[in-house]
Structure 1
Amino acid sequence: MLKQHRELSMSIRRTIENNEEADSFDRNWNDFLLNFGLVDNKWLSDFYEDHHIWVPIYLDHHFWAGMRSRQRSESMHSFFNKFITRNSSLIQFVKQYDNCLGSREQAERESDAADFHTVILCATKSSIEAQFQDVYTHQKFREVQAQFRGKANCITRLTNSALGYSVYEFVVTYDSVAAEVKCQWLLFESRGILCRHALSVLSFERVSQVSLDIY
């Protein structure tokens, strides 16, 4: 029984998390129900009805600054645990809460000062990377640089093109008229940075600058 429970738990986690697109979740969910004989399970059927609010692939078009609700909760718990324990009294909680906020504000001021007075060198010669170097914080710019490094491993193939609108593998679309690039991974929409696939297409299209009003 324990082994079966473990297998079911691992399977449902894979079903929820390992999806490249929304359609793949639906297929994986149906396979999961069939494999474990749960097609007629009412609780799972009701649970599925709200899948658009708990399955990660359906949330990628929302901006989360790179975090999900569980991550935000875990991050805050980790932070407050430095100041408060389960044995803290109410008076101690109030005092430590003030100390906690003060510590957080100080850390943010130090981070802002570092962003203002120091510069992270560009990892490539891309003028687009240089643009983001000017507008992003150090933390966010490091995320961007990881995508620029990953771009070197991307092979850009054009699959369709018409009237200034091009479609590439991954799937990436580029609108030369509106100067907009979009990737199915929706990294910009969810984390505020362009992914390596989009950057690869911009390089392929010989785009040297992006509109900062859009990105």
Structure 2
Amino acid sequence: MSQVFWNSHTKESFDRNWDDFLLKYGLVDNKWLSDLYEDRHIWVPIYLDHHFWVGMRSIQRSESMHSFFNKFITWNSSLIQFVKQYDNCLGSREQTERESNAADFHTVIPCVTKSSIETQFQHVYTHQKFREVQAQFKGKENYITRLTNSALGYSVYEVGEQVSSSIFNKFAVTYDSVEAQVKFQCLLFESIGISRPKRVKL
């Protein structure tokens, strides 16, 4: 199901992938999944494409908290043990953040390309975010870009992402030269905040 959820770049492809998923696993008449599908506009990323989420998923915060506290307490810890360990938890978190900030301030991750855009990201992003951007730069060779339309300051590109030797995902990317803005069909930049390889390649 994660393939349906994360790899649907248009609403139409989500609907098609959802139907294929239900057929494949014999779940066409499942009421719970039918109700879930009806509420897709509040949980499917492509339906939330106009919101900026900084790459966070709905359960990410609770996963992070569980991971954080599991270092100090267990499921059978008493309330007294929890209170005693709470200060240790906070101290550990603060120390980790200080170390991360120091590393970001005193070290530089080298660029993997000669792109001036990557160099700009190198100077303004944290190491963690810059590594994500670098992964996008490294992935740009899997994209083929073709200008499909150009008029009145707008250029529309078809971008093909090669996912295997014979399979391509296709996206539309619009460049507005008057406003100097790029708009992606998949809207992942708008929701996640990471420059996609198709943007880098344009």
TM-score, normalised by the number of residues in structure 2: 0.82
Q: Which deviations, in whole Å up to 9, do the C-alpha atoms of 1:186-205 show, x marking residues without a partner?
A: 3322322211001111xxxx
3-state SS of paired residue (1:199): helix
Corresponding residue for residue 213 of structure 1:
none
1:93 to partner: Cα distance: 0.6
Judging by fraction of residues, say which structure has more strand: 2
Q: Which deviations, in whole Å up to 9, do the C-alpha atoms of 1:23-81 show, x marking residues without a partner?
A: 12223334555663735x55444332211112232234433332312233222211210
Q: Which deviations, in whole Å up to 9, do the C-alpha atoms of 1:120-161 show, x marking residues without a partner?
A: 121111111111111100110111111112123322210111
Report the CA distance shift for 1:139/1:37 in structure 2 as closer, same or farther (over 3 A).
closer
**Sequence identity of aligned pairs in percent?**
76
Which is worse superposed, 182-191 or 168-177?
182-191
Pair 1:38-2:39 in alignment: no
Pair 1:59-2:48 in alignment: yes
Corresponding residue for residue 184 of structure 1:
185
Aligned mate of 1:159, from 126, 132, 148: 148
Q: Which runs of 5+ in 2 are unaligned?
A: 159-170
Q: Is the 8 A contact 1:182 1:198 kept in 2?
A: no
3-state SS of paired residue (1:69): coil
Report the CA distance shift for 1:17/1:146 in structure 2 as closer, same or farther (over 3 A).
closer
Q: Is the 8 A contact 2:46 2:186 kept in 1?
A: no
Corresponding residue for residue 26 of structure 1:
15
Q: How many corresponding residue pairs?
A: 189
Corresponding residue for residue 165 of structure 2:
none
1:167 to partner: Cα distance: 0.8
3-state SS of paired residue (2:74): coil
